[in-house]
Amino acid sequence: MNLELRHRLPFVSVLLDHQGGTVELKPVLIDTGSASTVLSADVVEAVGITPQPDDVINKLRGIGGTEVVYMRVVDRLSLGEASVSNFEVEIGGMDYGFEIQGILGMDFLRQTEAVINLKDLTVELG
């Protein structure tokens, strides 16, 4: 699968399947510096993922600052032919000053055995 460089960073497109609905998230950053996968609250609302009163709220901290997120287990998250079922993601506002609908973190990259080739700007999945 080809990577698309935006702002000199590697982006892809992913599919989220949840409760009978599917939504494409694009652009999604491939980020080996992120332990977890974060998806845009605005986009995942299309498949019925919304905050609930009993959600546990967490704070993510990174180079871009802090972000408030809540957790959900989604039915499936797919990148090309590779997918992870019953996958826990973090849902947040993702207001970083440029268009981004998600971050694929090390949790997803490890489970799909991703190999990132920066010379050819591709990612191979196990």
pLDDT-above-70 percentage for the chain: 98
Are 84 and 75 within 8 A, CB to CB?
Answer: no
pLDDT tens-digit profile of 12-67?
Answer: 999 999 999 999 999 999 999 999 999 999 999 999 999 999 988 888 876 667 78
Q: Confidence band (pLDDT; 50, 70, 90) for 5? A: very high
Query: Looking at residue 64, what is its pLDDT?
Result: 66
What is the structure's pLDDT at 66?
Answer: 78
First to last CA, the chain: 12
Over residues 77-104, the pLDDT tens digits come to 999 999 999 999 999 998 877 899 999 9
Dihedrals phi, psi of 3, to nearest 5 degrees? -95, 145
Q: CATH number of the domain at 4-124, out of 3.30.530.50, 3.90.650.10, 3.40.50.720, 2.40.70.10?
A: 2.40.70.10
Is 11:116 a contact under the CB 8 Å cutoff?
A: no
Long-range contacts of 8-11 (CB under 8 A, 24+ apart): 10/116, 10/118, 10/121, 10/123, 11/100
CB-CB contact of 28 with 104 (8 Å): yes
Grouping H, G, I as helix, E, B as strand and the rest as coil, residue 73 is strand
**Tokens coding 42:** 């605005």
